[in-house]
C-alpha cells in the first residue's frame, strides 16, 4: 500500500509521520507539504516529496494537490492509499482528502499506536 502523509508547520506532529514511515511496509511514501516541510528527514528511508503552497485558498490548494499527486498514483494504478493527517489543520486536511477522492483513490486513515499501525 502507498502511504500519503501531510506535513504541515507543526514539527511536533512529524514524529507520528516518521513512525508510520519507519514501521510500515509501504510500497511507496508520498509526503505533501510546503517549503518548510522539506526540512523533514527520516534516515534510511525513501519517500517522494510533493511541494504545495499551503497558504492558498482551499479550492486552489485542492487543485494543486490533484495536479501534483495524481501522476504519482496513476503510474502505479493505485485504487487505495493509507492516509496520515496527523499533521496540519482542517483546511489542509479537507483539501488533501478531497484531492485524493477526486483523483479518485480510496482512503484508509492510518495512525501509529503502541500496538502498531492501525487503519481506521
Give the model's pLDDT for residue 107: 97
Question: Where are the domains positioned within the chain?
Answer: 2-119
Q: What residues contact 13, with CB distance under 8 A and at least 6 apart?
A: 86, 87, 88
2-119 classified as CATH 3.40.50.10770 = yes
- Element spanning 119, H or E: strand 116-119
Give the model's pLDDT for residue 11: 62
Give the model's pLDDT for residue 100: 97
Give the model's pLDDT for residue 116: 94
Q: What sign results for the dihedral spanned by CA atoms 108, 100, 80, 33?
A: negative
Q: What residues contact 116, with CB distance under 8 A and at least 6 apart?
A: 23
**CA-to-CA distance for 51 and 61, rounded, in angstroms?**
11
Which SS3 state, helix, strand or coil, does residue 116 take?
Answer: strand
Cβ atoms within 10 Å of 84's Cβ, excluding its own:
28
pLDDT, averaged in runs of 10, over the chain (120 residues):
90 85 94 92 87 97 98 86 94 97 96 94
pTM above 0.85, yes or no: yes
Exposed, middle or buried, 57 (CB in 10 Å: 0-12/13-18/19+)?
Answer: exposed
Residue 100 in grid coordinates: 485524493
Amino acid at each position: 500500500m502507498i502511504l500519503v502523509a501531510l506535513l504541515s508547520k507543526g514539527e511536533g506532529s512529524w514524529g507520528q509521520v516518521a513512525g508510520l514511515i519507519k514501521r510500515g511496509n509501504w510500497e511507496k511514501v508520498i509526503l505533501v507539504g510546503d517549503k518548510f516541510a522539506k526540512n523533514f528527514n527520516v534516515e534510511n528511508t525513501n519517500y517522494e516529496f510533493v511541494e504545495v503552497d499551503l497558504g492558498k485558498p482551499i479550492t486552489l490548494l485542492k487543485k494543486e494537490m490533484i495536479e501534483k499527486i495524481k501522476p504519482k498514483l496513476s503510474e502505479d494504478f493505485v485504487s487505495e492509499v493509507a492516509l496520515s493527517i496527523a499533521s496540519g489543520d482542517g483546511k489542509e486536511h479537507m483539501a488533501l482528502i478531497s484531492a485524493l477522492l477526486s483523483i479518485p483513490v480510496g482512503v484508509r486513515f492510518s495512525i501509529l499506536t503502541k500496538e502498531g499501525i492501525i487503519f481506521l
